[in-house]
Structure 1
């Protein structure tokens, strides 16, 4: 890294504590990685916007009851989050799990309308935990 520092950028990323452990492994690391950017966790509103953006890309829509349910779950998760809470990735995993539950719910229906295929309901989110 030192020999090519004018032509090379090395970026390491991770959670704060493991990154500190990494930088302390070798006495020379900390001086070589002398610029540290810390990104704060997303807010509830930001996580909901992320979820909506992911839904939109996949042509899904969460009805208002389900949206309110998800927003409350996100609020609770942020209050009691563990060190491995994955922010936007957690929202993606949550959405993917809801879509799977939706498909399992729709299989039980005799008639399925087009809007059923694109609408996520509260029961599609119930019972799913954040990873």
Structure 2
């Protein structure tokens, strides 16, 4: 009797490992780890969801009853914190585990769903849903679908269609609703039908200045540029100042700042065209290229 139990436990361990290797989700998690700096709580949450789905599959394979987990998700956080990137990797994971038929991601906003006149919203929304079937529909700034102060707004119609699909075709479509945390909370409060159908809430924290510096250096490396040590110090100071300004968008703001630094570098090189240039001149961002930002000159 004891031997039989041990054998069963050994077989179960083997099945878990076999199922894990067969799914290849570790590859996706590794890609996510390499793609995104920081965001440890987000990465842990994705691992937890992956583990739940993997074990759910294993339970079904050995004949255990298991209710289908709710896959619809809410991603909350500031712009530029990696929500779309994580959604793409989540689509890969769902596909590898058999919870997504196609594994693709369709990203939309209110304008893609809501029409401007009577009879326009339903066909627009259904066309988007048709394209998203078998994968994930990612709705960015989802709270703009609901405008309670405007009685003639057609966003409520789009929400009603989404609710119907979430209920009747939940096995063939995953919705991820994304946006600022406080606005999303108000949105869910005003739409209990939506809130009750969201099984996983993932909050994306803002990056620290040091994390944003790392992200910036990776962005530059991808384009074969580099910061001098002195430029790194200046750029970190820039990041700290920029984070205090309105409309800061984390990694997006960093990318924009580096694009401007590259432009200043190009102008600096152009103005010194009478001298012979080296490869180092063409790939190096120096403090001057950052210090000319309006944050420093105003």
1:6-25 map, 5 Å? 6-25=171-190
1:38-117 map, 5 Å: 38-78=203-243, 80-82=244-246, 84-109=247-272, 110-111=274-275, 112-117=277-282
Count of residues in correspondence between the two structures: 128
2:167 corresponds to which residue?
2
Identify unmatched segments of 5+ residues in structure 1. none
In the aligned structure 1, how far is the partner of 2:184 from the partner of 2:249? Answer: 15
Q: Which has the higher helix share?
A: 2
Q: State the TM-score, normalizing by the size of structure 1.
A: 0.85
Provide the TM-score with structure 2 as the length reference. 0.40
SS of residue matched to 1:10? strand
1:128 corresponds to: 293
Deviations 1:24-50, CA, capped at 9 Å, x for gaps: 443322212242110111112211111
Unaligned runs of 5+ residues in structure 2 are 1-165
Q: Deviations over 1:46-102 (max 9, x none)?
A: 111111111111000111111100112223344x254x3211111111111110111
Contact 1:69–1:122 at 8 Å: present in 2 too? yes
Higher strand proportion (structure 1 or 2): 2
Greater CA radius of gyration, 1 or 2?
A: 2
Aligned with 2:292: secondary structure?
Answer: coil
